[in-house]
Amino acid sequence: MSEILKKTVALLPEILPKNAKSMMQRMVDAMQNAMAADPQLGASSYRSLLLKMSSDDLVREFDLAIRESMKTIQLAAGGPGISALGLSIEPLDGAEATSDTDFLSSTALFEKLCAKANGLGVSGLGAYSKDVFLASFNEAFAKSRIDSAEAKKMMPIARQALNGELAKLYEKLDSL
């Protein structure tokens, strides 16, 4: 079992870029559904239209950011003491963008997975925390057509979608 997890962790820099586009598309779909289901959300039809128009931008930019992050992680794995997180994009809404409460479920799953991996002698998993994905996610929004003020208003729903995708990823890895 530890060998399968060890091999998978070693291959994550190759696996994740292949799945980044579909991951972001699922997040966009989840955001669309959440906006449609929330009657309290003001101007949801306008934000939904913006999201639909920017879907291709978000998918493309998230893919590029994930690829760059994975290259950084691969380089860091080859050298001692190098930080694995290469992207440093300013969050769209300041400190709230990295709020731990937005990622409670995925963080709990990640911590459980890391504990399991450490117990099995698998190293390198810590490089795939939410921070890598959140930086790529923020970069995708920053480079999309969505105005920063509107993107800021979408962030609570967007972070929920990212949390859901990360939870699925960590659950899959934990099942190995």
The DSSP call for residue 89 is: P
Q: With pLDDT > 70 as the criterion, what percentage of the chain qualifies?
A: 86
- Which position has the token pair 């480079």? 143
pLDDT, tens digit (0-9, with 9 covering 90-100), for 130-163: 999 999 999 999 999 999 999 998 999 999 999 9
Counted domains in the chain: 1
pLDDT, tens digit (0-9, with 9 covering 90-100), for 65-100: 999 999 999 998 875 433 334 344 444 444 444 467
As to burial, measured by CB atoms within 10 angstroms (0-12 exposed, 13-18 middle, 19+ buried), residue 49 is: exposed
Q: Give yes or no for a contact between 126 and 114, defined as CB atoms under 8 angstroms apart.
A: yes
- How many CB atoms sit inside 10 A of residue 84's CB? 20
* pLDDT for the residue numbered 89: 42
* pLDDT for the residue numbered 66: 98
* pLDDT for the residue numbered 161: 97
At residue 136, the 3 state secondary structure works out as helix
Residue 122 token pair: 């698998």
Q: Give yes or no for a contact between 65 and 139, defined as CB atoms under 8 angstroms apart.
A: yes
Q: How far apart are CA 170 and CA 111, in angstroms?
A: 9
pLDDT, tens digit (0-9, with 9 covering 90-100), for 2-50: 899 999 999 999 999 999 999 999 999 999 999 888 877 667 788 889 9
The whole domain housing 13 covers: 2-174
- Full-model pTM: 0.86
